Structure 1
Amino acid sequence: MTSQEMVLEECKVADVEIEEDLSPCLSLNAGEQQTETDAFQCGRCKQRKCHYRQVQKRSTDEIMPIFVTCINCNHKWKFS
């Protein structure tokens, strides 16, 4: 019998409920929020509808890079 088969049915139900409660937090890499803007222009389709997010990659005294994704064609690039 595997460890998965030995789990009580009540625990399996509880695990499913916990996963459903946490799913909004786990999407989009928890803690990272994307914001829609028209401040950036896509180099591929020339549209201005984009999502962007800032991520702290290095020490706090350095500039946070901005990662941009075009909503129209899903082209991704980094803006510093």
Structure 2
Amino acid sequence: MEELQFDTEYITLGQLLKMVNAISSGGMAKWFLSENIVYVKGEGEQRRGRKLYDGDIVMVPGAGKFKLAAAPDGNRDVY
């Protein structure tokens, strides 16, 4: 499992797909998700706008399994 860092409160599933090179542009996210099942925390997900947070585990067909880690930059709001 690969750790994937980001520096915002969350990223969307579409952003993650682009980060891991599963798609080459954001516009391809809808197509990719209609053809493939991506698993977020063990459950199938097809919404490109799904918010992903620190600690989430995501499995992307053809790209791998990723554990999301928010970079500790001190600028994020904590709720």
TM-score range, shorter chain: under 0.3
Structure having the higher helix fraction is: 1
* TM-score for both structures, normalised by structure 2: 0.23
* TM-score for both structures, normalised by structure 1: 0.23
Q: Which has the higher contact order (CA 8 A, sep 6+)?
A: 2
